[in-house]
Chain A
Amino acid sequence: MVIDPIHYQGVAAILFAIGLAAVLSRRNLFVALMGIELMLNAVNLSFLAFARMHVGTASLTGQIVPLFTIAIAAAEACVGLAMVICIFRQRDSVDSDAYASMKE
C-alpha cells in the first residue's frame, strides 16, 4: 500500500478527535491538558502533510506554521499547569467534578 499525503490527513483527523474526546470526557485535569496538546499536534501534522502537497513558497508556509504552534502550545501548557496548581490548592483535587458548583 502506498502512503499518500491524504493518509496523513486521516491520521491527523483521528488524533484531533482523540484529543477532543479526552478533553470533553475525562475528568482529570492533566488528561484534559494532554488532550489539548494532542489536538494542537494533530493540527501540526495536518499542516506538514499539506506542505508536502504544495510546492515552492506555498510549501514553506506549511512548514513554518508548526514552529509557531509549538511555541504557543508551550505557553498554553504553562498557563494550564499554573491553573491546575491554583485549583489544587483550593480543592485538594485534580478531578474536574469538584468544580461544578456554578449554575445557570
Chain B
Amino acid sequence: MTTSVSLFPLLLPVALTLTGGLATLAAEPFLAAERKHDWLPWTAAIAVLAAIIALFAVDTGHVHGLYAMDSARVWLCGGILGATLIALGGLQASLRRDAFPGGEPHALLLFAACGAQLMVMATDWLALFVGVELASLAVYALVGLRRQHAESGEGLYKYFVMGSVFSAVLLYGVAMTYGATGSTHVGAAVQSGSLGLWFFGQALILVALLFKVGAFPFHFWSPDAYTGAPVAITGFMGAVIKVGGFAAIGAQWLALIVVANGGGVPADQVLFLDRGIELTVLPGWLSVLQQIVLVLAVLSLWVGHFSGLGQRSARRLIAYSSVANAGYLLLALALPAAGSVVSLGSLWVYLVAYAIATAGTLTALAWLADHDDRHDDLDHLAGQCRRDPFTGLVLTVFLASTAGLPITIGFIGKFLILSDLVAKGWLVIAILAMVMALIGAAYYLGLLATLWGSESKREPAPARSALAVAALAVAALAIFALCWPGWLVPGQMPGNPKVAAVSP
C-alpha cells in the first residue's frame, strides 16, 4: 500500500499548477494595469511548465485510495497542461488586445486545470466531485469574462444553471452508490441485495458525466456556452473539461466491469487506467448500459456533424464538433464478448489528440477574430489566413488533426478507436462512424478552405503574444511528433493490455 511518503510526488503536478494560480492571484493587485498581461501569463506559464516537467518524475501509486497516478493518467494530465499552456497564450493575446482591466483570468485558468487534473486522478467519488466542482466553478467565471456582453451573460446563465443541476445529480448518484456499497471508493463491492440501488446511482453518475463532456442528449448547453465565452476560453473549456470528464467515465467503466465480474476494488487498492481488465461475464444490466452508450455515441456523431454543417459562427461550429468528438470518444467504451480483455488505450490517445487540437484551433481563431471576438463568423474570417501565414499554418495542422488526416495524432486516435470497434465485433457501428468521420473531415477542410480562400477585406488584429506563438508552434509540432512510433506512453496502446487493473 502506498503511504503518505509518496503523497507529495504524486500530487506534485497539481500542487505546482495550484501554486502558479495562487502566485498570479497574489501578484495581480500589485501590478500596474498595463503590465498585468505581460507578467501574469508568463508566471502562470512557468508554473505549468514546471508541472509538465514534474509529470515525468511522478511515481505510480495512489494516495490513501483518493487519488492515483499511472501512465495513462500522466498522459492525460500532460494533455490538460498542454491545453492550459496554449490557452494561456491565447488569453494573453486577447486580453491584451481588448485591454481587459484585471489579471484574474490567468489564475482562474490554472484553477480549472487543477480541477481537471484532480478529475483525472480521482479514484473516489467524493474526490471526483470536488475535482468536478473546482474545474466547473473556475470555468463558469471564465465563460462570463466579457461582463458587458449580453451573449456572455446568457451563455453563462444557461451553463451555470444546467451545470449546477447536473453536479447535484452526480452527487445524488454518489449518495445512492454509497448507500449500496457503504463506501465512496470507485469500484467498491456491492452489498447483497443492493444491486438495483447501486445501478441507479451509477446511471445518475454517468448521466452527469455525459453532461459535463457534452454528449447527446446532454449537449444543448454547449453551443450557447461556447458562444458566450471568449474565443480563447472556448477551446480551453472544450478540451480540459472533456479530458477530465472522459477520464472519470473511463474509470467508472472499468469499475462497472469489476463489479460485473462479481468482485470489487478494496479500499486500499485502486483502478489503474493504463491496464486492461478481463470481462469474465457480461450481465444483462451492463449489456443494456453499453447499448445505450453506443446509441448515444452514434446520435452524438449525427447531431454534431449535421447541426454543425450550417453554422456560420466559428465558435458554434467548434461546439458542434465537440459534440461529434464526444461521440467518437464514447465509441471507445464498446465492450468485447465475454472472456476478452477490456482496455481503454484508444480513448486516452484520442482524448489528448482532441484536447491539443481544439485548444490550438481556438487560440489561433481568437487571434483572427479581432477586438472583442466580434468577427468570429465565417464571412469575416474568410481569407484571414493569407494575412497571417503563421497562424494559418498552425490552424491548418490542428484542423487536419481534428479531421483525422494521416500522420497526425488525430488520425492515430480515430484509427485506434475504429480498429478497436472492428476487433470487438461492432462492424456496423464502425462503418457508420467511418462515414461520419468522412463528413466531419469535409466540414473541417471546408472551414480551412474558407480561411485560406478569398482575399481578406479587413486587417488582422494587431494582437501578438510571444507565449501564444511559442505554445502554438510547440503544439503543432507535437501533433506530428506524438505519432512517432514508440513515443506514445508505453502500456497505453491497445493490444498491449496488462490484465488486472486493480493493484495495490
Interface flag for B171 (CB, 8 Å):
yes
A83:B157 contact, CB within 8 angstroms: yes
B154:A72 contact, CB within 8 angstroms: no
Neighbouring A residues of B141 by C-beta, 8 Å: 79, 82
Nearest CB in chain B: distance from A31 CB, A: 11
CB closest chain-B residue, reference A72: B133
A-B contact count (CB 8 A): 107
A68:B178 contact, CB within 8 angstroms: no
In the assembled complex, the Cα of A48 lies from the Cα of B22 at a distance in Å of 34
A100:B161 contact, CB within 8 angstroms: no
Interface flag for A20 (CB, 8 Å):
yes
In the assembled complex, the Cα of A39 lies from the Cα of B169 at a distance in Å of 8
Q: Which residues 7-53 in A have Cβ within 8 Å of B in the complex?
A: 9, 12, 16, 19-20, 23-24, 29, 32, 36, 39-40, 42-43, 46-47, 50, 53
A-side interface size class = 35 or more
A76:B164 contact, CB within 8 angstroms: yes
CB closest chain-B residue, reference A39: B168
A65:B178 contact, CB within 8 angstroms: yes
Interface flag for B431 (CB, 8 Å):
no
Contacts A36-B168, A69-B171: A79 and B154 contacting too (C-beta < 8 A)? no
Nearest CB in chain A: distance from B96 CB, A: 23
Neighbouring A residues of B153 by C-beta, 8 Å: 83, 86-87, 90-91, 99
B179:A46 contact, CB within 8 angstroms: yes
Interface flag for B372 (CB, 8 Å):
no
B147:A86 contact, CB within 8 angstroms: yes
A86:B144 contact, CB within 8 angstroms: yes
Neighbouring A residues of B223 by C-beta, 8 Å: 102, 104
B184:A61 contact, CB within 8 angstroms: yes
Nearest CB in chain B: distance from A88 CB, A: 9
Neighbouring B residues of A89 by C-beta, 8 Å: 147
B160:A62 contact, CB within 8 angstroms: no
Nearest CB in chain B: distance from A2 CB, A: 20
In the assembled complex, the Cα of A95 lies from the Cα of B223 at a distance in Å of 22
Q: Which residues 176-193 in B have Cβ within 8 Å of A in the complex?
A: 176, 178-179, 182-184
**B interface residues, how many (CB within 8 angstroms):** 39
CB closest chain-B residue, reference A54: B182
Neighbouring B residues of A43 by C-beta, 8 Å: 168, 171-172, 175
Nearest CB in chain B: distance from A70 CB, A: 12
B168:A19 contact, CB within 8 angstroms: yes
Nearest CB in chain A: distance from B374 CB, A: 16
Contacts A76-B133, A99-B154, A102-B154: A58 and B167 contacting too (C-beta < 8 A)? no
Interface flag for B23 (CB, 8 Å):
no
Nearest CB in chain B: distance from A65 CB, A: 6
Nearest CB in chain A: distance from B129 CB, A: 7
Chain A CB within 10 Å, residue with most, of B155, B157, B307: B157
B164:A36 contact, CB within 8 angstroms: yes
CB closest chain-A residue, reference B162: A23
A-B contact pairs, 18 of them (CB 8 A): A16-B172, A23-B164, A36-B161, A36-B165, A43-B172, A47-B178, A58-B182, A61-B184, A72-B129, A75-B137, A76-B133, A80-B164, A83-B156, A86-B144, A87-B157, A102-B151, A102-B154, A102-B227
- Which residues of A are in contact with B by a Cβ distance under 8 Å? 9, 12, 16, 19-20, 23-24, 29, 32, 36, 39-40, 42-43, 46-47, 50, 53-54, 58, 61-62, 65, 68-69, 72, 75-76, 79-80, 82-83, 86-87, 89-91, 96, 99-102, 104
Pick the 8 closest A-B CB pairs, nearest first: A58-B182, A39-B168, A50-B179, A99-B154, A46-B175, A87-B153, A36-B164, A54-B182
- Which residues of B are in contact with A by a Cβ distance under 8 Å? 126, 129-130, 133, 137, 140-141, 144, 147-151, 153-158, 160-161, 164-165, 167-168, 171-172, 174-176, 178-179, 182-184, 223-224, 227, 307
